[in-house]
Amino acid sequence: MGAGSEEAVVATELRWSLVIAAVTAVIFGAIFWAAVAMERVPPSNGAVIDPKALHVSGEFAEANLGTQVDAAGAVVSRIVTAQFQFTPSCIVVPQGHPVTLRFSSPDVIHGILVVGTNVNTMVVPGYISQVRTVFNRTGDLLMPCHEFCGLGHSQMLATVRVVHAADFKPGPDGKVACAQR
């Protein structure tokens, strides 16, 4: 059988197919392992909300925005993303503690990410976007809008302030806000 014969070509292509199958298996295996063993999956949340009454009633009413610690100790931050600002524009979260971030939009589609973390989601009017994560390092992390939402899009920024758990002190109402600087 010569190197250029049809049998040799078929054998080579078969071997190469096995290599590609192995590469694909390794990559899918790594993704599957991260999803199952480490709970690294795209955020998914089916909750709906009326975008016309977003800021005046219900979960995203002004009094409920920002970081709150409930009676069970769960840390939840609620943020309204609107053209062209986050409300509030700064949230405080504790280091090394599970945090739930909840977003909603009254106007157009926005998107958020927190720099240096895997937090990344779209914010679609009529829905509540939710991301659960743990922030491992303290400091001020930038949270920009990453979905073009209009002329002021590039100015739409917020800060996620990650503080030591010992410095994370909720008030009597369970709320924690960024200190004025």
Partner 1 sequence: MSDLEQSDRIAAGEAPVPEGVLREVPRGALALAALTVGLLVVAWLAVYAFVFLPRGAVS
What is each CA distance from 69 to 141, 155, 172, 173, in whole angstroms?
A: 20, 29, 10, 9
Chain positions 36 to 95 lying near partner 1, rule: CB under 8 A, are: 38-43
The nearest distance, CB 150 to partner 1, in angstroms, is 27
CB-based contact 158:91 (threshold 8 Å)? yes
Among 76, 79, 90, 131, binds partner 1 (CB under 8 A): 131
The nearest distance, CB 124 to partner 1, in angstroms, is 18
What is each CA distance from 16 to 4, 5, 9, 95, 139, in whole angstroms?
A: 16, 17, 10, 47, 48
Among 57, 89, 136, 155, binds partner 1 (CB under 8 A): 136
One-letter amino acid at 134 equals: V
Among 119, 141, 145, 149, binds partner 1 (CB under 8 A): 119
Chain positions 13 to 32 lying near partner 1, rule: CB under 8 A, are: 16, 19-20, 23, 26-27, 30
Cβ closest to partner 1, residue 64 vs residue 117 = 117
